Structure 1
Amino acid sequence: MTLRPASAPQRTEPDLADRIHGGWLGRIAGNMLGKPVEQGEVWTRDRIDRYLRRAGALPLTGYLPEPVDPADRAVLRPEWRACVRGRIDGSCRDDDVDYTILGLDLLETHGPGFSTEQVGGLWLLRLPYLQTFTAERAAYRNLVAGLGPPLTATYHNPYQEWIGALIRADVYGWVCPGDPVRAAGLARRDAVLSHTGNGVYGAMWAAALIAAAFTAPSVRDAVEGGLGVIPAGCRLARTVRRVAALHESGMSWEQTLATLSEETAGLGWIHTVPNAAVLTAGLLYGDGDFTRTLTLTVRGGLDTDSNGATAGSVAGVRTGAAGIPAPWTEPLRDTVRSAVSGFDGVRISALAQRTLRLATAVP
């Protein structure tokens, strides 16, 4: 038995409140990290690293630095000035956080027995149409036209397997700590409003992954917990298992992503499957370290803010709010900007407390 020196700091295991708060903080921090370079056909993995290298920021250990190359500055997202280190003063508004807030409001309003129709009704009540994109905008338009699920997901909607449903899944994992099956069921009921196939499986996998992260002995075990709720033969499951196998073989993070990029070529940068590959690689190669998990995931490219947000959620649940380094959390000022009616300017800590009440209320 090896004794820890008396002077060494000892950190207690995070409790449920700390883990849920960590999930919220991690999601928002990861979203902010990836937001400036969210345009996968422009901001490839190689270009992101060139940006960082020119700024002297490799390895990346925090929020993105300001661009030093005018060519980079010209193609960053317009919100970049509020998302780079030294300029952040509270979180930016983003759909990756709006949908998490909507999910919380849904559960508070209708409880865990909510219907897909109630998800759509809440969108019409709380979410501005112009703050929706791809599959969500198609579903919103179908709702206004009087269609109901499942037609809302299939009529004039070419984005059915894109990442939109996956980014809505976190709150279902947070309110079902240690219960991936229940989390996946909630996420599925939300997802089918706008998605089908791998789009729905992505939401189920993400919710289950986050629920499993509360109790799984390792990140790899949490990833496996997520896989347990979706069909083993679907492309999403096969891709996630492929990343895990390459990681286990000792292949480098760079080689793994290069391999998966070739194997998922043609799906596009917002499709669920290639983004799940980037996310899984960030989680596994991040190996439980909050900063490394977020930075590797965002450096992986594609839908950087969405992947960073989900990776941050998992990492935040694993480490708890108290374990997240202050440079990630202090610039957020415990404040959320949101397009969701009634929620703009809400405290992150207040959202976490409301989520905790739901998590402890679910039988």
Structure 2
Amino acid sequence: MTPAPPPDLAQRLTDRVLGGWLGRIAGNMLGKPVERGDLWTRDRIDAYLRRTDALPLTDYLPEPPADIAPSLRPEWRECVRGRIHGSCRDDDVDYAVLGLDLLETHGFAFTTEQVGDLWLLRLPYLQTFTAERAAYRNLTNGLRPPLTATHANPYQEWIGALIRADIHGWTNPGEPRQAAALARRDAVLSHTGNGVYGAMWAAALIAAAFTAPSVRAALDQSLTVIPASSRLARTVRRVASLHDTGLSWEDTLTTVLTETAGLGWIHTVPNAAVLTAGLLHGDADFTRTIALTVRGGLDTDSNGATAGSVSGVLTGAAAIPPHWTGPLQDTVRSAVFGFDGVRISELAARTAGLARVPVPTP
């Protein structure tokens, strides 16, 4: 059992974990209205922002013009400026909640089978999508891992496992390998290949953000936990190398998304490219990071959520501008049974209380 950290260290750790929770929720809500990458391309998102005088993007999306509103996600009314009263429900947040419940219930020695059992107990089937829905269906038909990931599941390398990884980063601050190992054990319920690597990479990235001196250093650490020859690792390195040359954010995305064309807008690899570009060009500025990431398109709410989590850990909750956090009203809406209406601050305190390696924070 990890000994309790000194009070000042515990407070700083909780602030960083709270930053991760708040960042994940704010980034998710920023991207939610335009979450449909085949329709809401980067150019179309920017056209919306220009029409509403919202470039550069520094706040939640503005109220859409009447002719744009029908093409947005139905939840837009809960996610745009002036309409936000607590977080809206979304799977990108549900899985973070469910991951906390997993660790509180089974501890760090949880099994993949226990992840599946908890889904059946706590998560409504109709609130699962793509690979998670296929795995859920396989579970109800009596299949066990790893067959739950491979049987009748064409989404094995999509982004679902990546969005479940934050809890493992938050509870393993400064320990990316430990975080990645736990994320892998969770991910193989529903994913294979780059789908699993995406979860490992994201968990490691968030864990590294607690102690790394820069975003780039955290990214470099995150790449050590996945195969260097994997397409995911090669794509993340490609974005980083283009950033090193001084190429603009726009031209970087044009280059890399051309190179990953054909994988689809929910596949892990192109979304990791958008996320990496947003993190590097955002350079630890919370607002710039989530704004660039969402403007990058593809799975906007998932990418915004992960970018917000990484950036929130880097800065801590106290440094996140209040126009992002205030409208959330410290409240989470969740489909996870027993958690709807829970306080974000409570989730963060419970998460920090599980952290295995309390680390000094800057």
Shorter-chain TM range is: over 0.9
Match of 1:15, SS state, is helix
- Secondary structure of the structure 1 residue equivalent to 2:225: coil
- Residues 47-58 of structure 1 mapped to structure 2, 5 A cutoff: 47-58=44-55
* Residue 310 of structure 2 is aligned to residue 290 of structure 1: no
Counterpart amino acid of residue 348 in structure 1 = I
Q: In the alignment, which of 60, 68, 72 is matched to residue 68 of structure 2?
A: 72
**1:152-176 CA distances to partner (integer Å, 9 max, x unpaired)?**
0000000000000000000000000
In 2, the alpha carbon distance for the partners of 1:205 and 1:361 equals 19
Partner of 2:201: 205
Match among 32, 35, 39 for residue 32 of structure 2: 35
SS of the residue 1:88 aligns to:
coil
Is 1:23 matched up with 2:20? yes
One-letter amino acid matched to 2:220: E
Structure 2 spans left out of the alignment, 5+ residues: 1-8
Asked if 1 retains the 8 angstrom alpha-carbon contact of 2:174 and 2:357, the reply is: no
Within a 5 Å distance, the mapping from 1:58-137 to structure 2 comes to 58-68=55-65, 70-137=66-133
Stretches (4+) displaced over 3 A: 360-363
- The whole-number CA distance in structure 2 between the counterparts of 1:271 and 1:214 is 27
SS of equivalent to 2:256 = helix
Output the CA distance in 1 between the equivalents of 2:357 and 2:193: 31
The structural deviation recorded for 1:362 is: 8.4
2:256 counterpart of 1:260: yes
- Identical counterparts, % of pairs: 78
- For residues 324 and 53 of structure 2, the distance between their equivalents in structure 1, rounded to whole angstroms, comes to 19
* TM-score (norm. length: structure 1): 0.95
Structure 1 residue 15, shift from structure 2 partner? 1.7
The alignment status of 1:45 with 2:42, answered yes or no, reads: yes
> Which of the residues 138, 145, 154 maps onto 2:141?
145
1:279 has 2:275 as partner: yes
Counterpart secondary structure, 1:232? coil
Distance 1:149 1:362 in 2: 32
For this pair of structures, how many residues does the alignment match?
350
SS at match of 2:157: coil
1:7 is matched with none
Residues 1:229 and 1:360: Cα distance change in structure 2 (over 3 Å): closer
For residue 186 of structure 1, what is the aligned residue in structure 2? Answer: 182
Tell me how large the CA RMSD over aligned residues is: 1.3
CA distance in 2, matches of 1:288, 1:362: 22
The amino acid that maps onto 2:266 is I
Q: Deviations over 1:207-252 (max 9, x none)?
A: 0000000000100010111100000000000000000000010000
- Separation of aligned partners in 1, 2:340 and 2:240: 39
Q: Structure 1 unaligned runs (5+)? A: 1-11
The residue number in structure 2 matching 1:229 is 225
In 2: Cα distance, 1:313 partner to 1:131 partner: 22
Does 2:236 correspond to 1:220?
no
Letter in structure 1 aligned against 2:127: Q
Partner of 2:157: 161
Work out whether residues 60 and 324 of structure 2, in 8 Å CA contact, stay in contact via their aligned partners in 1.
yes
Counterpart in 2 of 1:3? none
Q: CA deviation at 1:52?
A: 0.2
Displacement after TM superposition at 1:71 (Å)? 3.1
